Amino acid sequence: MKVGDAVRRLGRDELERLVRLRPDLGRARDVDDLIHRANWQGSIVAATEELSMTGWVTMSAACLAGPAASFEGIRKLVSLPEEVLVEGASELAALLLADTDGETLDLHGTLRQQLPYPFGLGRPVVTLLESLVMDDLRTILAALGLDEEGRKADLVERLSGYLLAPGRIAQLVAGAPPEVRALLAEFDQRGYPCVDAEHPAEQDARAHGLLVRPRWSEAELPREVGVALRGGLPLGIPYERPAAVVRPVSDAEIAAANADAVAAAHTTIDRIARIVSLLAEEPVPLRQDEALGVREVKRLAGALGRPEHEIAWLVEVASGLGLLKRAGRAGSRRLASAGQWGGSATDRWLELARGFGTTYRHTHVAGRRDDSRLLLAPLAHAPSLGDPRPLRTDVLQIFDVLDASSALDPASIGPLAHWLRPARWGSQPASPREIAAFLHDEMESLGLVAGGRLSAPFQALRAGDEDRARELFEGAAGLGHRGFTVQADATIIVPGRAAPQTSAKLRRFADVESDGAALVLRVTETSIRRAIDAGETAEGIVAFLTEHASHGLPQPIAVLIDDVGRRHGSLVVGAGRAFVRSDDPALLEQVLRHRKLAKLGLRRAASGLLVADATTATLIGALRGAGFLPVAETPAEPAAVRARRAPPADPAFSHYVLDEVPVDPAAWALRMLASAR
């Protein structure tokens, strides 16, 4: 395929479609630059991720068939219906990945290099036999009862001619011992399972040409053997689109689902706020790679009473919102709070909902294990995972096709997404079903999905109507039980499903003990202190409980809340690295007002005492430089005073970023056409 010729044949409409499908080409300055970019390997690989299963199957079949393969040859090779082949060829041509005249399909040369194993099949048996040494070839010939004499080229020709005889490989596979067939099937399914070269089953398979070790470190299943194992179908399964499993839903069910979505959002908001509060009280150490370690995740999980993988996800989301920051020196960094989360519950949900589509962090797999059973730690740097935003777009695209009275079975999301974008979903750290399940769980927890549908507030937000999204979110928040019972043992019981706003308010100053058929919480001194730290007041908590408690507020609970509110803040802790003490108030006032000492951060802590942000040595030197005669107090300074000033904490490391502004397709197409004249 000659990309230059294909580009120069494109009209305005085709160019507009091209830049929509391959937005990286929008950076092209003119048609020559466009041709150069369209030939760039990185752009081609990115374009293959936009292929549907139809385009992917057509591309893989064309790779099997060879350069400039005819449609008829491709159809015979993989048994594709003609309309599928035509649709796939058109998709490839629109992406500048292939050229077609309606009878042949010529793929871009880079695609053949990038796809040496179409449909997951190995290389042809002839190619693999040519990589073997003479002794290995003679071993296979002897096992098959063939002549072992001749040059290497003669041996390869003799052996390949025997193996490629019609039905021969299928006959060898069928006649192999069960353990050999099982090993071959494992190679076909997993690609390169870890097998010892001395394993008897592998030695038997290699002796009969059913498995080849082109290098000592790896074994490969010949393409023809893979096809035989798949019953003669290179694709392995019939070409059939998975069906979306949907069910009808009533208006009442939709309203209940919207209420569930908002309740889930309130719960997530509360748990994020609790994590931020805990890390404000006590920052936790990070690993050397600045990810959050297992021990710290376990500690947070114990404090919140939630599973570890959920804590890992909450930490990822909180950091994405800029609520957490890394502090301290490199090598001894700590994860700390970057401040309280402001705004109403609706404002917070809007932040979460917008962030779902824009974060480039794989929040949905944090705390999970990949196919190798390796734990994906929260905040870990994992560039190999790629950009997760297209995955989220694919899932939303699947929900978008639902009509107003249908709900989707979550189990069908994975197969549908894999069919929609096989290259993208097939390269993830887990199977498409698992990744889709993780994303669906995340969307449910964020209040974006409930009952197999996008929630009404999220649909309004995606449509660009933020005011309507706010109205729907706050309206759904009023559904459910608002009343509850406060008992003398400091427990609060909400029967049935609590209204999201009520549940969120209670969770701010009470700890959840159970959340099943009824919501049970307990008020403690620690939970009240945490709420006051977050901005609540003792008077406000008492007023809320008095207003909504169906049987009144027991006096012991009111006394407990008032007592915590009275004692809260009676001690104030501040930062200070050195102090200046004197019995002469006038002298201290002179020091406090001296211009040369302004940069030390001196301030009055008590009568006869100033504190500073500088170390003791720095403070003494500055005072002497200003004309004073200080002395260092004994005994020796505490280690905290001698410590050097730590570097300032880096800013909140937000993972929620905006996409680049796309070019105007119409103007870009006109510019390309003008440059081609």
pLDDT for position 398 = 94
pLDDT for position 480 = 58
Is the pLDDT at 66 greater than 50? The verdict is: yes
Q: 85-132, pLDDT tens digit by residue?
A: 899 999 999 999 999 888 889 888 878 777 778 888 888 899 999 999
Which SS3 state, helix, strand or coil, does residue 99 take? strand
- Percentage with pLDDT > 90 across the chain: 30
Cα atoms in the Cβ-side hemisphere of radius 13 Å centred on 200:
4
- Select the more confidently predicted residue: 396 or 329: 396
CB atoms within 10 A of CB 517: 9
Q: 585-598, pLDDT tens digit by residue?
A: 888 888 888 888 88
Beta bridge partners of 98: 107
- Give the mean model confidence (pLDDT) for residues 175-195: 80
What does pLDDT average to over the chain? 83
- Give the mean model confidence (pLDDT) for residues 176-193: 82
pLDDT for position 115 = 76
pLDDT for position 650 = 36
pLDDT for position 517 = 62
Is the pLDDT at 82 greater than 80? The verdict is: yes
Distance of alpha carbon 627 from the chain centroid:
60
Phi-psi region of 79 (alpha: psi -120 to 50; beta: other; left: phi over 0): left
Strand segments (E) across 142-282: 212-215, 218-220, 246-248
Tell me the pLDDT band of 645, cut-offs 50, 70 and 90. Answer: very low
Q: Give the C-alpha separation, 277 to 528, whole Å.
A: 13
Q: Is the pTM of this model over 0.85?
A: no
Task: Show the tokens assigned to 256.
Answer: 């209940």
pLDDT for position 415 = 92
3-state helix, strand, coil in the chain (%, to 5): 55, 10, 35
- Give the mean model confidence (pLDDT) for residues 37-66: 88
pLDDT for position 210 = 92
> Residue 518: which H helix or E strand, with range?
strand 518-522
- Select the more confidently predicted residue: 574 or 657: 574
Phi-psi region of 209 (alpha: psi -120 to 50; beta: other; left: phi over 0): left
- Give the mean model confidence (pLDDT) for residues 10-15: 92
- Select the more confidently predicted residue: 28 or 79: 28
Q: Give the C-alpha separation, 592 to 600, whole Å.
A: 10
